[in-house]
Amino acid sequence: MKKSTFSPAQIAGILKEFEGGKTAEDITRQYGVSKAALYKWRQRYGGMEASELKRVKELEEENARLKRMYANLAMELDVAKYIIEKKL
């Protein structure tokens, strides 16, 4: 997963500017972020404070890590089952 170049506090600040009436073109030009990313942030994090946003990002990272762990364990289980079946 790609690491964001913006901190949760920066994202919250950018979203507040956008909600405050600044146009998407001005924000994309000023911060170097695409319109798609801006609207995705608004969809995902709209109305959150920086601390809430930080917690959500931490939970997303933990969730991704746990999914990778589960995939690895499932793969190891499949390999173990295959080896056991071959021996019988």
Give per-residue pLDDT as tens, 31-72: 999 999 999 988 888 888 888 888 988 999 999 999 999 999
In a domain, 3, yes or no: no
- What does the H/E/C string look like for the chain? CCCCCCCHHHHHHHHHHHHCCCCHHHHHHHHCCCHHHHHHHHHHHCCCCHHHHHHHHHHHHHHHHHHHHHHHHHHHHHHHHHHHHHHC
Give residue 75's pLDDT.
97
Give residue 61's pLDDT.
93
Instruction: For residues 15-22, give the mean pLDDT.
Output: 90
Tell me: pLDDT of 1 over 60.
no
For residue 8, with 0-12 CB atoms within 10 Å meaning exposed, 13-18 middle and 19 or more buried, which class applies?
A: buried
For residue 78, the enclosing domain spans 8-87
Query: What confidence category does residue 77 fall into, taking pLDDT thresholds of 50, 70 and 90?
Result: very high
In a domain, 29, yes or no: yes
Structural domains of the chain, count: 1
Q: pTM for this one? A: 0.61
In a domain, 15, yes or no: yes
In a domain, 69, yes or no: yes
In a domain, 53, yes or no: yes
